[in-house]
Structure 1
Amino acid sequence: MCRNIRPLNNFAPPATDDEVAAAALQYVRKVSGTTKPSLANQETFDRAVAEIAHLTRHLLDDLVTTAPPKNRDVEAAKARARAELRYAR
């Protein structure tokens, strides 16, 4: 489930709210052990996603680094190259 959580810090342009929400959703899915909560738990699940996304946004906004911002296309190409090596037959 959590394979879709990607590093979000120090990118140009910065992580979007959609990316932050997607990471929060994956985290809550992993911790709760479900991808689709029951109706009885839907409100709690949604609240957890919103709160974690909110805290994640604060974390990303407050982190400080001296490293130059990473390029999304370059990082995606590196990830594809690693996957090719890992899953090559």
Structure 2
Amino acid sequence: MPMIAETLAAVAAINLASFAAFGLDKRRARTGGRRIAESTLLLMALAGGTPGAFAGRRAFRHKTRKQPFVARLYAVAALQIAAAMAAAWWLTRQG
């Protein structure tokens, strides 16, 4: 059970960090500060922070019209869904 709790804590942390990164980048965009690279935002999503990234996009209305970025974020989400489905299939085959 401790491994499940640690995993859930890690997933929550990366999602919180991803959400916060979108807010911080939006603030920096408005104030002319140093921006967070799109590649960093996408890597955070790829590391498990996709829900936080989508929530941050919506909450801060950030990166909503940058079509290449939006397409890449959806590709990350699709990849994660496919990986989760493959893992579920593999786990049901073990026995």
TM-score, normalization by structure 1: 0.29
TM-score, normalization by structure 2: 0.28
Is the helix fraction higher in 1 or 2? Answer: 2
- Ranked by relative contact order (alpha carbons within 8 Å, sequence separation 6 or more), the top structure is 1
Is the strand fraction higher in 1 or 2? Answer: 1
